[in-house]
Structure 1
Amino acid sequence: METGNFNEYFKFFIALLAIVNPVGTIPIFINMTANQDEATRNTNGSIASLSMGIILVIVLFTGEAILRFFGISVGSFRVGGGILILLMAISMLNAKMSNVKQTREEALDSADRDSVAVVPLGTPLLAGPGAISTVILYAQRHTSAAHYVYLFGAIVLLTGLTILLFRLAPTISRLLGKTGINIVTRIMGLIMAAMGVEFITHGLKQLFPILAS
């Protein structure tokens, strides 16, 4: 694989990591599993991470068909996805959970659930609209089988990393504290903001070719 291609897939992984933001989700994960023993908490963390991975893999291979079904052009989806990611980034830069991922009503509803692994942890907190949009947009860049294999590998790597982070959640929370986690969230938000602007720019160039010149 050429260096340029490697950079593209590395960028995809970093972008997805910033949007999913498993470190920033740790306080929510700990709060939702506060009454569970370590084994049960680890199981729920693994299920949530695997749910995220499965959802993103399904989107990876069906995203193009979804766009065709609704008659949405890639350019329009880039602009829409970029705006969505930009809105999420603004919330993260303020160290807040974006309403795009979870509203206050949904948070209150999840507090009454016995099982929180798949919903709301797996989706929409991890595999939310931003992550789904990013996977679809990157999948559209090439049509080769190798391209999809590399994207699939990045999703699998992110899934494994999220499982590990959730298993270490209590330790990470103690080491970083709320301030440390907020700093990580703001850094991820900054990466997301830049990515959102890039998506919007490329989308506008596709919709209005005159801008590309």
Structure 2
Amino acid sequence: MSTALFVQTLVTLLVIFDPLAAIPVFLTLTRHEDAAGRRRIARVSVLVAAGIVTVFAILGNRLLDTLGISLQALQVAGGALLALIALDLLKADCARDRAKAESGAVAYVPLGTPLLAGPGAIAATMLYMEKADGVPALLAVGLAMVAALLLTWLTLRFSSLIGRVLKDNGLNLVTRVMGLLAAAMAVQLVAGALQHWVLWGVA
């Protein structure tokens, strides 16, 4: 298994999912639920996100071929989306934090999507599946997806406890650190695509 690809995919997905930044949103949208209700919503929202990213992980490459989109074009698009996410995180003013919902369907929208499985997560999943060459690499990406979703579920599952421990200042600090990582990854994605185009020419 490609350890480097596993770590890269895991960190990227965790930065995009950003479960710690989702804690205030999760607690707000589930404020009328009891502990059992919050656990159920956390489970369903992560399952929804898992379903969405899995579909694009399986069918994404075929979709790229059908539309005639190159891996490098996807890298630039993913980098741009990641850069927007990074700006929101660094400002600690995520668009996701402005999501409003009052119905019992919050596990699907906005938590499952677009809070977790938004355009950034979909683009990143397709990108790493496209980059995976061989069974070990595919296994690394798959396990990273599972690990990222599991950590996201655990964060939401224990969001009340984590929120009390970190408090607002702690959550803001972690959010900004994740934003810095997201910005660096965005630059790396775009730089990789540009390097390929310079060396091999634009197809």
Task: Give the shorter-chain TM-score range.
Answer: over 0.9
Give how far 1:58 is off: 1.6
Q: Which runs of 5+ in 1 are unaligned?
A: none
- Cα distance in 1 for partners of 2:197, 2:128 equals 17
Task: Give the match for residue 113 of structure 2.
Answer: 123
The answer as to whether partners of 2:29 and 2:102 remain within 8 angstroms in 1 is no
Task: Give the match for residue 166 of structure 2.
Answer: 176
Task: Give the match for residue 57 of structure 2.
Answer: 60
Aligned length: 201
- CA 191–67 in structure 1, closer or farther in 2 if over 3 Å, else same: same
Give the RMSD, CA atoms, in angstroms: 1.7
- Cα distance in 2 for partners of 1:145, 1:210 equals 27
Give how far 1:20 is off: 0.5
Task: Give the match for residue 43 of structure 1.
Answer: 40
- Cα distance in 1 for partners of 2:134, 2:173 equals 38
- Cα distance in 1 for partners of 2:108, 2:135 equals 29
Indicate the larger mover: 111-120 or 171-180.
111-120
Percent of residue pairs identical = 35
- Cα distance in 1 for partners of 2:130, 2:86 equals 23
- Cα distance in 2 for partners of 1:206, 1:129 equals 24
- Moved >3 Å (runs of 4+): none
Three-state SS of the structure 1 residue aligned to 2:93 is coil
Task: Give the match for residue 77 of structure 2.
Answer: 80
Give how far 1:115 is off: 1.5
Task: Give the match for residue 186 of structure 1.
Answer: 176
- Cα distance in 2 for partners of 1:24, 1:80 equals 23
- Cα distance in 1 for partners of 2:23, 2:130 equals 31
TM-score w.r.t. the length of structure 1 is 0.88
- Cα distance in 2 for partners of 1:68, 1:83 equals 21
Task: Give the match for residue 150 of structure 1.
Answer: 140
Per-residue CA distance 1:79-128 (angstroms, 9 max, x = gap): 11111111110110111114xxx495xx23xx232210011101110111
- Cα distance in 2 for partners of 1:121, 1:133 equals 18
- Cα distance in 1 for partners of 2:200, 2:50 equals 38
- Cα distance in 2 for partners of 1:55, 1:170 equals 26
- Cα distance in 2 for partners of 1:173, 1:158 equals 20
Q: Which runs of 5+ in 2 are unaligned?
A: none
- CA 70–103 in structure 1, closer or farther in 2 if over 3 Å, else same: farther
Q: Which residue of 111, 114, 117 corresponds with 2:104? A: 114
Task: Give the match for residue 21 of structure 1.
Answer: 18
- Cα distance in 2 for partners of 1:194, 1:70 equals 29
Q: Which amino acid aligns with 2:117?
A: A
Q: Which residue of 194, 198, 201 corresponds with 1:208? A: 198
Give how far 1:210 is off: 6.4
The answer as to whether partners of 1:81 and 1:134 remain within 8 angstroms in 2 is yes
- Cα distance in 1 for partners of 2:161, 2:87 equals 28
Q: Which amino acid aligns with 1:35?
A: H
